[in-house]
Chain A
Amino acid sequence: MTELPETPRPSQGPGEVAVVYAGDYVNKMSGQRIERECLTRMERGCRALVINFRDTELVNSIGVSILLGVIDEAERRGARVAFSNVSLHTLKLFELLGLTRLVVLADREEDALATLEEFSTTPPGH
C-alpha cells in the first residue's frame, strides 16, 4: 500500500475546494486518513471536496463505510463531495453500495473541480 499523497496546498481558504487523493487500497487505515484529511479541510472552511481515486485499485467495505461517514459529515456541514478518476470496477462497487447517489461523479479531477467551483462560491443558504 502506498502512502496517501499530500493534498495540494492552494485549496486552503474558506469557501474553496479541496482535493484529497485516495491510496491504492482504500481500507480502514487509509479510509481514516481520507476522513481525517476531509474533516480538517472542512474545519478550515472548505465547502466542497474532491476525492481523487486515480491510484485506487481496490476498495473494501470498511473503506466504503468510512467514505459514507465523510459524505454524511459533509452533508451535515453543508459541503459537497465529488469523486473523480474512479476505475470501472470501483465505480460498480460504489454503485452497488449506494455511494454514487450521494456524490458528484467526474471522470477527471478538473471536471469535478469545475462542477464544485460554482457550488463553493455560492453563499450558504442560496
Chain B
Amino acid sequence: MPVRTPRQRRVLARVAPEQFVGRGEQLRELTALGSARAEQKGLLLFAAPQSGVSELLRQTFDELFRQRGGPTPVYFAFARTDAATTAAARRFLQTFLTQVVAHRRDDPALVSATPTLRTLLDLAAPQDYEWVERLVQDFERAQGEGDERALVRLCLGAPQQAAAHGARAFVMFDDIHAAEGLHGEVALGPAVAQAAAQWGAPFVIAGPRRRLLDLLNGSLPLAALEGLRRLHLDRLKEADARALVEGLAQRLGVALNDETRDLVVQQLEASPYLINAILDAARAKGAGLTSFREFQGLYVDELLGGRVGRRYASVLEDVAATPALRRGLLRVLYESAAHPTGKVPAEVWMKRLGADALEFERVVRLLHMHELASFHATYVETTPSTPWRDFLRVSYRLQVAAEPRALVVADTLVEALKRAPQTMARHYRRESALGLADVLRAFNFQRVPASLLRYDRWARAYRGLAREEAQAGLSAETDALPLPQVVHAASCASFHPPIAQLCDEERCTVAHGFESGAYNAGGEVVWLAVEVESKLEAGRALAELWLERLEQVAQACGFDRVRFWLVAREGFSGEAAELLSERDVYSSGREQLEHLTALLSGAGAGGSGEADEFAIELPMTEDAELIAAHTVEQIARRMEFEPEAINKIKTALVEACINAAEHSLSTERKIYNRFRVEGDKLVITVSSRGLSVPVTLPENGVPADKNGGGEGTKGRRGWGLKLIRTLMDDVEFERVDDGTRLRMTKYLRK
C-alpha cells in the first residue's frame, strides 16, 4: 500500500516550504497554472543566473503533488550529461511516467526512484494500464527501429497520450538551454516547444533569460509559443535574501549577527545559490558568521576550493573544453575585468583566445548566456559581479600567473576585508538616496505647487515651519507647475559613463518625457535630475559646478530640450537659490521632495546589562537625543556629579547622537546608548550601524568630498566631535565591523 503524502513532506524540493523565501508570488502563479481550474496555457520562465529557478519549480511540483485533485505535476530538467537527444528524450519519457504513476498512486517515494519502464507498467493504476502499456510498447518498437525522429516525437508526445486517457499533466521543463548541443538529428529545444503547444495541457519552459530570449528570436517555433505568459525571475530582494540567510543559519546551527548577515547579502549579491554555499560551508567547518573576518575567511575558501569556485569552474569548463582554451579565456576575462571600462573589442578577444570565428562565437555566446560576460557585437564586457570577478582574479593568479597559493589566499582575504566597509558604505548610500528616478516616473502630467521645485520660494514661505503648516500653505498655493509625463528614466551614468566618477549611480537620473498629452516632437523634454551631496545647504559654487556637469551631459548626449533639477537634502544657500532661480533651474530640498512624493502618490544596543549598566535604543528622529540626555542626567545625578559636569555630559551625548544620525546613513535608523557606572567614572557608548563617522573631521567643518561640499556653510558645522572631546575626559572610537561606536568617559574626581 502506498503511503499517503504527509501535508508538508518534501518530494523534489530541497528546502522546506516555510524556508523557501522571496518567491511567494511566482510560486502562487505557477501552482495556479497547474491547478485543476487552470485553463490550458503555457508559461515561459526567464531566469536570472543563480536566481533559484530550479528550486522554484521543485517547490511548485511539491505543492501540486500535495494538493492532489489537479493535473499531475511533472518536473524535468535537461542535462548535458544526456549527450544525445535520444537519451534526453528517453529520460523524459521515464521521468514523465514515473511522476505520473507516483502521483496517481499518491506515492511520493516513487518519484526519487528509477524504475524501469516495465516496472512502471506493473505499478500503473488499473485505469492507466492500457495507455501506459501502449506507450511502452511503441517506445520499445521505435528504439528497435533506430528511428531517432520517431523516438523523440513519441517521447515528447507522452503527455498528449496521457491527457487523451484522462491523465492530464502539468509539465515543467527546466534548463532548456541544456537541450541544445546534444548530439542528434533533432533540435530538441524547438521540438519541445512544438510538442508542448499541442498537449492540450499547461506547461512551463524555463531557462537562462538571455538564452531563452535568443531562442525565442531564433530557433524556437514562435507560432507555437505565441500568447504565452512570460514570467521573469530576478535576484532575490534584499529583505528576502536577509531572511534566507537568517533561516539557513538557524536551520544549520550557524551563529550569525546582523552586520555579517547584511554583508553576506551585499557581497553575494542576494544570490540564493551563493548564500546556500557559504552557509553550508560554515556548517561543515563549524564556523560562525559573527564577524566580517569569519565570513571573508569562508568566502575565500569557497572561491578557491569550495562549491562557489567549483560552480564557476564548471561553467568555464563547459564554455572552454580544452585546458589551453580555458587558460586563454581566463586571461582575457581577467584582463577585461581589470580594464577601467570592463570592455574589450571583440577582435582583441578573438586574437588573445587564438580561436577562429566559430569557436569565438560559441565561447562568447555561452558566457553571455550565463551572464558572465556581455557580447555587444563589437566588444565584450566582463560582468561586474563581485564573486565572479574575485573568482577570475584568484583563478588567473593561480592557473595563469602560477603564483604561490598561500600568497593568493592571503591577498584575497586581506582585500576582501578591506573592501567590506566599502561594500556596506555603497549599500547605505544606495539605500539613502532620495530615489529621484521613482519621483520622476510618478510625474505623469500632474500639477504641483511651484514652491516644491523652487527652493527660493520654499525657503521664503515654509522653511522652519512644521510639516502640517507647510502642507496647509502648499494646499493654498495658486501657482501650480505642470509636470511632464516621464516615459523612461535611467541613471545618468548609463547615458554618460564619466558621470559615475562624480556621484553614485542612483543619485543622478536622466528622464525622457513629454510636456503635453500629445506625443510629438514639440513636447519632448529631457529632465536631468541630480541629488547633490552636501551636508548643509548647498552653496552657489556647488550648484554652479553641478549645472556645468549637467550641461556637459546634455551636450554629450545631444539632448535638445532639457530641464535641470538640483536636489540637496538641506536645501540651498540664498546665493545658490538665487542663481538657480536666475538660470530657471528647478531646486528642492528633502522636505520639498517629501511633500512632492506624497502629492504625486495621491496621499495628500542591546545586550544584557548588569545592575550598574543601562542601555537604551533610540530611533533616529527629531529630538530623540533629548531622551538620551534626560536619561544620562538621572544616572549622573545618582553618581553625584556636579551640575556643570552633568550639563557637559548631556551636551556631549546630544552631539554624539546627532553625529550618529547625520553621518551613518543607517537603514535601521537606530542609535544604541549604553551607560556604565564604573567606580568613579561614567562610561557612555553611542553606536549606530551604517557608515563610519569620520574619525578625523577637520577642525572647522565637514570632511572634504568630491563635490567640494560644505561650500557656503562658512565653517559653521562639524564641531560635534571637537565639542565632545572638550566636554568629556576620554573619548575614543571603538572598532566595529559596521557603523560607528563612540566611547566617552567622564570622571567624578575631575
Contact = CB atoms under 8 A, between A and B. Distances in A.
Interface of A: 1, 25, 27-29, 32-33, 35-36, 58-62, 64-65, 68-69, 72, 88-89, 93, 96-97
B340 interface: no
A69 B463 contact: no
A28 B464 CA distance: 9
Interface stretch (B131-139, B157-165, B643-651): B643-651
A29 B463 CA distance: 10
B270 to A, nearest CB: 36
A75 to B, nearest CB: 12
Contact of A96 (B536, B644, B720, B726): B726
B457 to A, nearest CB: 15
Contact of A61 (B623, B644, B719): B719
Contact of A60 (B647, B655, B726): B655
A35 B655 CA distance: 21
Contacts of B650: 58
Contacts, number: 58
A65 B623 contact: no
Contacts of B654: 58, 60
A25 B626 contact: yes
- Pairs of residues from A and B, 7 with the lowest C-beta to C-beta distance, nearest first: A32-B464, A89-B647, A65-B716, A36-B464, A61-B719, A68-B716, A60-B654
A25 B626 CA distance: 9
Contacts of A61: 655, 658, 717, 719-720, 723
B717 A62 contact: yes
Given A61-B720, A62-B658, A89 B623 contact: no
16 contacts: A1-B623, A25-B623, A27-B623, A29-B622, A32-B463, A32-B464, A36-B464, A58-B654, A60-B625, A60-B654, A61-B658, A61-B723, A64-B716, A64-B719, A65-B716, A97-B719
B629 interface: yes
Q: Which of B464, B651, B655 has the most CB of A within 10 A?
A: B464
A33 B622 CA distance: 15
A26 to B, nearest CB: 11
Contact of B626 (A1, A72, A88): A1
A33 B464 contact: yes
B714 interface: yes
Interface string B704-726: 00000000011011011001001
A64 B720 CA distance: 11
A61 B622 CA distance: 14
B723 A96 contact: yes
B522 to A, nearest CB: 43
Interface of B: 463-464, 536, 622-623, 625-626, 629, 644, 647-648, 650-651, 654-655, 658, 713-714, 716-717, 719-720, 723, 726
A68 to B, nearest CB: 5
Main secondary structure of the interface of B (DSSP, over half): helix
Nearest to B718: A61
A116 to B, nearest CB: 24
Contacts of A62: 658, 717
Contacts of B464: 29, 32-33, 35-36
Nearest to A97: B719
B623 A60 contact: no
Contacts of B629: 58
A58 B644 contact: no
Contacts of B463: 32, 36
Nearest to B625: A60
A1 B720 CA distance: 21
Contacts of B726: 96
B651 A60 contact: yes
Contacts of A1: 623, 626
Contacts of B625: 60
Nearest to A31: B464
A61 B651 CA distance: 9
A61 to B, nearest CB: 5
A25 B647 CA distance: 13
Contacts of B623: 1, 25, 27, 29
A62 B647 CA distance: 17
Contacts of A35: 464
Contacts of B626: 1, 25, 58
Nearest to A69: B716
A23 to B, nearest CB: 11
A28 B658 CA distance: 11
A97 B651 CA distance: 13
Nearest to A1: B623
Nearest to A59: B651
A92 to B, nearest CB: 8
Contacts of A33: 464
A62 B622 CA distance: 12
B235 to A, nearest CB: 38
Given A61-B717, A62-B717, A68-B714, 17 more contacts: A1-B626, A28-B622, A29-B622, A29-B623, A33-B464, A35-B464, A58-B626, A58-B629, A58-B651, A58-B654, A60-B625, A60-B651, A60-B655, A61-B655, A64-B716, A65-B536, A65-B713
Contacts of B723: 61, 93, 96-97
Nearest to A25: B626
Contacts of A97: 719, 723
B644 A72 contact: no
Contacts of B716: 64-65, 68-69
A102 B186 CA distance: 90
A8 B738 CA distance: 50
Given A35-B464, A58-B650, A60-B651, A72 B658 contact: no
Given A1-B626, A29-B622, A60 B658 contact: yes
Contacts of B651: 58-60, 89, 93
Nearest to B719: A61
A64 B713 CA distance: 13
A60 B659 CA distance: 11
A95 B202 CA distance: 79
Most buried by B among A33, A59, A65, A88: A65
A126 to B, nearest CB: 28
Contacts of A59: 651
A6 to B, nearest CB: 15
B644 A89 contact: yes
Contacts of B647: 58, 89
Contacts of A60: 625, 651, 654-655, 658
Nearest to A90: B647
Nearest to A28: B622
Contacts of B713: 65
A61 B655 CA distance: 7
A29 to B, nearest CB: 6
A1 B630 CA distance: 12
